[in-house]
Structure 1
Amino acid sequence: MRKTLLRMTLRQLQVFRAVFETRSYSRAAEEMALTQPAVSLQIRQLEELVGQPLFEYVGKKLYVTDAAEALMRASSDIFQRLASLDMQLSDLQGSLQGQLNLAVESSAKYFVPHLFAAFRDQHPDVSLQLVVTNRAQVIKRLSDNRDDLVIMSLVPQDMALEFLPFLNNPIVAVAPPHHPLCNAAKLALKDLESYTLLVREAGSGTRKACEEYFQQKRAHFAQTMEVASLDAQKECVVADLGIALIPRHAVSLELATGLLRELPVEELPLYRSWCAVHAKGKRLSPVAQAFLSFIREERAQISALSHRFSGALPLTTTGS
C-alpha cells in the first residue's frame, strides 16, 4: 500500500464525499459548515496524497475522475465499517443503535415509513435515512454500494444480488369516478386501449412491469402521455387526462375517499413483490441485519400493515 494513503484523514474524506455528491465546492462548503477555500484546500491535499486529480472543471461544470470514483467506493466501505462498529459497540451495551440507510422505489415511499415505524417500535434507538428515487437510480445506487438495503420490485437478474420478497405489490388500473369505464361491471385489458394511458418516465419500475405485461397480453396503447413522477401521474388521472396503472399502495387514500376508482379489469391486479435487496457478499450492519430479520419474521404484522393501503375506508364504530 502507498504510505501516502495512510495519511488521509476522515475529515478529508467527509469533505471529499460532500463535493462528490453535490458536484459543487460551494454547496459542499455549506453542507460541511466550512469556507469554500477550506474545502478547496482539503481536496488539494487529498489529491496530493492520492497522486491524481479527483475533480476537473469542463466549462463551468464539475466532473469526477476515475480516481474519485474509486476513492468514493473505498470511503463508503470505511464509513460503513465505522457505522457498523458503532452499532456493534451499542449492541454490546445491550441496545441496538445506529442508522438504517434505505433507498426505495418511489411507489414504495407510501408504506416504507410505516414499515420502519413498526421496526422502530422494537428498536427505538435506530434512525432512518430514506432516499426515494426511480428504479434506474436504485439500481445505480446498488452498483455504487450507497445504501444498507434497497426496497424494489423487479430485482435485476444480471447483478450478483441477494433479495428477500416480503410484500405483494398489486398494480391496478385507476380512473376518475366519472370516467365511462367506471360504469362497467367487468372489463378486459383491451377495453382500456382506446383511452389515453398515463405512464411514468423511463427508468420507472412500474412502467417496466406494465410494458412487459402489455407485451405478454398483446395489449397496445396508441395514446400515451409520459409523466415524470408518481404524484404527478395521480394528479393527471384526477384531472381526467387519462387512465393509469399504479401500485395500489400509492393510491390507497384516493381510492378510499372516492377521488379515484379502481377499474374492474379481469387481468388485474398485476402482482409483483416488494423485495429487500443488497449486493451478494455485502457486510451488513447490525441495524440492517435486524431490519431483515424483522421483515422475515414479522410477516403477520407486515400483512396487517398492508391492509392500511388496500384502498378501503377504515371501519368506524358508533356509540349506542
Structure 2
Amino acid sequence: MHYTLHQLQVFLKVTEFKSITKAAEELHLTQPAVSIQIKNFQNQFPIPLTEVVGRQLFVTDFGEEIAAAARKIIAEVDAINYKTMAYQGQLSGKLKISIVSTGKYLMPYYITDFMNMHPGVDLEMDVTNKTRVVRHLEKNETDFALVSVVPDHIAIDKVRLIPNKLFLVGGRQHTYSGKTISKKDFDKLPVVYREKGSATRAAMENYIADRKLPTRKKIELTSNEAVKQAVISGIGISILPLVGLKNALSSGDAQIIPSKGLPITTHWNLIWQKSKQLSPTAKAFVSYLEEHKTALNEKHFGWLDTY
C-alpha cells in the first residue's frame, strides 16, 4: 500500500462530513480534487470504504475502522511535529476549543495574537450550541469551552471575559408605541427563536414566560447569525446578544427595542474541567488570557459599554 498522509487527511474529512462537497470546502480544495484523492485511496483496499445510497454518502463499517486508524496516524505525525518544535524551544501543540455560536464574534479576538506569537500551536474550534458544547466538555473532547451560562453540574475553572447583554431587537421597519414595547405591540410581531439547546433560546423563553408576553407566531432558526438576518429583513423580532449586532446597529439595519426587564446580562467565560490536566499549550493560553484580557476587552469590545 502506498497511501499518503494527504489521502488520510482527505478521507477523514469525508468521513466527518459524509459529503465530498463539504469536505472540499473545509479543505479549501475543489470537489474533483477530493474525489480523485478518495478514489486513489479506495483503490488500495479490496473492501469499500464508503457507499452512496440515494444521494447520501455513508461510511461502511470497514471505512470506520480505517478512519479510526487514520486518526491515530495523523495524531502521531502531529506529535512528531510538536516534539520537534518543542526541542527547538517553541511552544507547540493543539488547542481544542468548543464555543457556542455567538462565541464566533468573540474568540477570534482573544486567540489571534496568541496564535501569531506561537506559530507552532494549532487550533481546532467547534462552533455549536450550548448543549453540545457542554457535552464536549463532559466527554473530555475539548480543552476549553466558551459559554455565557456556566453549567452548574460540572466542577470547572474559568477565565471571566466580558458581559453578555441580550436585548430585544427588530429591523428598521418595526415601530412601537410608548417608551417601551407593550404587550399589544409585542403581539403584533412574529418572534424569531434559536433552536432548542441554545442558551439564547432559553433566556428568551424565560423572559417571555416571566412577563406572560403573547407570541403570535414562532419562527425557529439554528444560529444567531440566521436570526439576526431574519430580524434585519423584517420577518420578526428576537432577543439577541449585543456582541453580534455591532454592524447592524451602526448601519441602522437593526434597532434595539426598549423593553422592561432587558437587557438580560450574564458573562462570557472560557471554562474547563477542574480535574483536567491542561497541556503546556493550554496552560500558556490561560496565562495569556489572564494577562491580556483587560486590554483585549477595551480594544475590541469597548463599544459594548455604549448600550
**Relative to structure 1, is the Cα distance of residues 24 and 144 closer, same or farther in structure 2, using a 3 angstrom cutoff?**
farther
Q: CA deviation at 1:109?
A: 1.2
Find out whether 1:247 has 2:249 as its counterpart: no
Matches within 5 A, 1:147-186: 147-158=142-153, 162-181=157-176, 184-186=178-180
Structure 1 length-normalised TM: 0.69
Kindly state the Cα deviation for residue 136 of structure 1 after the two structures are TM-superposed. 3.9
- Equivalent residues of 2:172, 2:234 under 8 A apart: no
Please, which of 252, 259, 266 is the counterpart of residue 260 of structure 2? 266
Give the % identical residues: 29
With normalisation by structure 2, the TM-score equals 0.72
Between the aligned partners of 2:91 and 2:238, the Cα distance in structure 1 is 42
How far is the alpha carbon of 1:248 from its aligned partner? Answer: 0.3
> What residue ranges of structure 1 are gaps of 5+ in the alignment?
1-8, 46-52, 314-320
Cα distance change on mapping 1:60 and 1:248 into 2, 3 Å: closer
> In 2, distance between residues paired with 1:69 and 1:156?
33
1:165 and 1:312, CA in 2 relative to 1: closer, same or farther beyond 3 A?
closer
Alignment pair present for 1:203 and 2:202: no
**Count of equivalent residues:** 298
Distance (whole Å) between structure 1 residues aligned to residue 60 and residue 135 of structure 2: 17
Counterparts of 2:286 and 2:293 in 1: how far apart (Å)? Answer: 11
Contact 1:101 1:130 in 2 (8 A): yes
Q: Is the 8 A contact 1:188 1:267 kept in 2?
A: no
The answer on 1:236 being equivalent to 2:230 is: yes
Alpha carbons 1:189, 1:267 under 8 Å: kept? no
Query: In 2, are the aligned partners of 1:108 and 1:151 still within 8 Å (CA)?
Result: yes
In 1, distance between residues paired with 2:202 and 2:80? 39
> Residues of 2 paired with 1:144 and 1:267: CA distance?
36
Q: CA distance change for structure 1 residues 266 and 280 in 2, over 3 Å: closer, same or farther?
A: same
The CA distance in 2 between the partners of 1:174 and 1:206, in whole Å, is: 13
Q: For the structure 1 residues 106 and 276, does the alpha-carbon distance in structure 2 shift closer, same or farther, using more than 3 Å as the test?
A: same
Question: Can you give the 5+ residue segments of structure 2 that lack an aligned partner in the other structure?
Answer: 25-30
2 CA distance for matches of 1:140 and 1:56? Answer: 30
Aligned equivalents of 1:311, 1:125: Cα separation in 2: 36
Matches within 5 A, 1:1-320: 17-23=12-18, 35-36=37-38, 38-40=40-42, 83=78, 86-87=81-82, 89-120=84-115, 122-123=117-118, 126-142=121-137, 145-158=140-153, 162-181=157-176, 184-187=178-181, 192-279=186-273, 281-308=275-302, 310=304
In structure 1, how many angstroms separate the alpha carbons of the residues matched to 2:136 and 2:112? 24
How has the CA–CA distance of structure 1 residues 78 and 231 changed in structure 2, closer, same or farther, with 3 Å as cutoff?
Answer: same
Counterparts in 2 of 1:139 and 1:60: CA distance versus 1, 3 Å:
farther
Contact 1:73 1:145 in 2 (8 A): no
- Say which SS state the counterpart of residue 248 (structure 2) adopts: helix
Distance across 2 between alignment mates of 1:292 and 1:71:
36
